[in-house]
Amino acid sequence: MNKVCELLNIKYPIIQGGMAWVANSSLASAVSNAGGLGLIAGGNAPKEIIKEEIRKCRELTDKPFGVNVMLLSPFVDEIIDLIIEEKIPVITTGAGNPAKYLDRLKEAGVKVIPVVPSIALAQRMEKLGVDAIIVEGTEAGGHIGELTTMVLTPQVVDSVKIPVIAAGGIADGRGIVAAFALGAKGVQIGTRFICSEECNVHENYKNMVLKSKDRDAIVTGRSTGHPVRTLKNKLAKEILSMEKEGVPSEEIDKRGIGSLRVATVDGDIHNGSFMAGQIASIIKDIKPCKEILDDMVSQAKNIMPNIEL
């Protein structure tokens, strides 16, 4: 049996990305009901909001689902408390090192799967006793590292013993086969699920993804040390020119604050931050999560009949 499926008690080793302001109980339950692992994204939300999403998700699915913890959030401590109180079976973490929470989480029986952008961090996480690791290439949307999925995945596979899950640039069965060929035992998929029926973001967000072309998912914030991949629009271009002009980092970071809500809730195509991966332009339709998963699994099995999916 596939190691990731065994670890998480799921049908397919396909994990939904923890997309802040995107991944709520509707999306997470749909992915879990379809046989993957759905996750509610903690993002920058306080405990009460996530508690309510967990309650709703439990009404919508009896399958396992997790929470994604964004480690730059001011509410991390209380979100970790909530995860333990609610006996959430698994978390993924992003944008930082979860080391200081690991003992408590493990003691409570919560499986921890950090998202990392480098080999060194993957090795450090394994030593601390995490259950699996997600390696996220720079093709991914949102907050990113430097290395591509293509180079990161095989190197981390060779450097750790725990299961490696590949992320960044995967949106169909071909991507899954490629990740498995590199030694991954699972995949994390984000952008593809934005264009699902159960994803509740503003329709303008979905249309931005559907209309995007190969070079539209660009990176802002390289100069401030917080590189973020979003679809090209007025906001992204403004931030890039502020960077070019040498505007102080704090001011640049300030320009981005709140813009994820402007994208996901208001659907303001000019001023929102439309985080998406480089694979966005491959996505051509909006379908139910079950169809997305079934289609990518059958495509992968057609290409590679003995794939451990």
Hey, is 70 helix, strand or coil?
strand
Site string for ligand TUI, 238-277 (x = CB under 6 A): -------------------------------------x--
Give the residue, chosen from 49, 84, 95, 304, that forms a contact with ligand TUI under the rule CB under 6 A. Answer: 95
Give the residue, chosen from 46, 64, 89, 96, that forms a contact with ligand TUI under the rule CB under 6 A. Answer: 96
Summarize the chain as % helix, strand, coil (round to 5). Answer: 45, 15, 40
In angstroms, give the least distance from the CB of 304 to ligand TUI. 27
Site string for ligand TUI, 170-209 (x = CB under 6 A): ----------------------------------------
Of 5-13, 104-112, 143-151, 192-200, the window that binds ligand TUI (rule: CB under 6 A) is 143-151
In angstroms, give the least distance from the CB of 145 to ligand TUI. 5
User: Rounded distance, CA 232 to CA 209, Å?
Assistant: 11
Of 75-83, 137-145, 175-183, 264-272, the window that binds ligand TUI (rule: CB under 6 A) is 137-145
- 97 vs 271 by CB, closer to ligand TUI: 97
Tokens of 122: 């993957």
* Beta bridge mates, 68: 41, 92
- Contact present, 133 and 125 (Cβ < 8 Å): yes
- 142 vs 163 by CB, closer to ligand TUI: 142
- Contact present, 15 and 92 (Cβ < 8 Å): yes
Is residue 81 classed exposed, middle or buried when 0-12, 13-18 and 19+ CB atoms within 10 A define those classes?
middle
Q: Is 142 in the site for ligand TUI (CB under 6 A)?
A: yes
Q: Are strands 90-94 and 111-116 parallel, antiparallel or unpaired?
A: parallel
User: Rounded distance, CA 46 to CA 306, Å?
Assistant: 44
Give the residue, chosen from 6, 62, 72, 103, that forms a contact with ligand TUI under the rule CB under 6 A. Answer: 72
Q: Is 226 in the site for ligand TUI (CB under 6 A)?
A: yes
The helix/strand count (H/E) of the chain reads as 14, 11
Q: Is 228 in the site for ligand TUI (CB under 6 A)?
A: yes
User: Rounded distance, CA 264 to CA 203, Å?
Assistant: 9
Q: Is 117 in the site for ligand TUI (CB under 6 A)?
A: yes
Per-residue burial over 151-182, b if 16 or more Cβ lie within 10 Å, else e, is ebbbbbbeebebbbbbbbbbbbbebbbbbbeb
| Residues of this chain that bind ligand TUI (CB under 6 A) | 20, 70, 72, 94-97, 115-117, 121, 136, 142-145, 226, 228, 275
